Amino acid sequence: METLFIETKALAIDTPHTSQLPVVQLDESMYTSLYDEVYPVVASIISRQGGTLAEAEDIFQDALIVFMDQARLTMVQDPARYIVGIAKHLWMRRARKENRFLKLDDYEQSLHLPDEVASEVSSSALFLFLQRAGSKCMDLLSDFYFAGLSIAQLSARHGFTTRHSAAVQKHKCLEKIRTIVKEKQLSHEDFLE
């Protein structure tokens, strides 16, 4: 199976974008090919484990998101095998309370599952507040830190005319959200995660 690369991106605003990796867009067309190839395999595993169709959908989608995250940072030699392995880990995490375990091969055992996956994101009051009050800045920072976009793609998506203006706006957004975090944490213990 093909090896995938995705562009890595400098995170600090004063760090030049120097990635030499070829860019692969993790978009709907890639999702479609992985859906056709891997979703039936994941669904079959979850079915044999006594899970539901809804659980199979959730786990497959979360495994794809973990894969996208990983592919942003490094190459993944065998995406299908990686996604199936992550799906097994996700199922085991979900099913642990019910003592339903899966056997993992050596490769699958070597995979690392992030502490936080998409179906378990923060629901803190601070997070919900930022989703409403700072959504534009959260979108920009999200694209900057985690979406694997080039500066050119970032500028096009957010309407910046130059690399410099993108960097300045990112800096302003970071300061804005950080100020909110400081204020809320000082005034409301409930906002703490």
Partner 1 sequence: MKTSSNDTVLIERYLDQQLSETEKQAFMNRLVTDNAFSQTVAAQTQVRRLVRSHHLLRQRERVKAWHQRLHNDPARRSMRQAIEALFKF
**Does the protein bind partner 1 through residue 5 (CB under 8 A)?**
no
The one among 17, 21, 23, 145 contacting partner 1 by CB under 8 A: 145
Residue found by looking up tokens 């995406």 in the block: 79
Among 7, 78, 108, 139, binds partner 1 (CB under 8 A): 139
Residue 109 and residue 88 in contact, taking contact as beta carbons nearer than 8 Å: no
N-terminal to C-terminal alpha carbon distance within the chain: 40
Report the C-alpha gap between 46 and 83 in whole angstroms: 13
Residue environment code for 33-44, b if the CB has 16+ CB neighbours within 10 A, otherwise e: ebeeebbeebbe
Query: Could you say whether residue 193 binds partner 1 (CB under 8 A)?
Result: yes
Report if residue 150 touches partner 1, rule: CB under 8 A. Answer: no
In whole angstroms, what is the distance from residue 170 CA to residue 10 CA? 13
53 vs 75, beta carbon nearer partner 1: 53
Q: Binders of partner 1: how many residues, by CB under 8 A?
A: 51
99: left (phi over 0), alpha (psi -120 to 50) or beta: left
Using the rule CB under 8 A, is 74 a contact of partner 1? no
Which residues between 26 and 55 bind partner 1 (CB under 8 A)? 28, 31-32, 35-36, 39-40, 43-44, 47, 52-53
Residue 142 touches partner 1, criterion: CB under 8 A? yes
Q: Pick between residue 47 and residue 162 the one whose CB is nearest to partner 1.
A: 47
The single residue among 16, 121, 187, 190 that binds partner 1, judged by CB under 8 A, is 121
**What is the crossing angle of helices 135-146 and 163-187, to 10°?**
120
101 touching partner 1, by CB under 8 A: no
User: Residue 116, CB half-sphere, CA atoms under 13 Å: how many?
Assistant: 4
Residue numbers of the site for partner 1 (CB under 8 A)?
Answer: 11-15, 28, 31-32, 35-36, 39-40, 43-44, 47, 52-53, 56-57, 60-62, 64-65, 68, 116-119, 121-122, 126-127, 130-131, 138-139, 141-142, 145-147, 171, 174-175, 177-178, 181-182, 185, 193
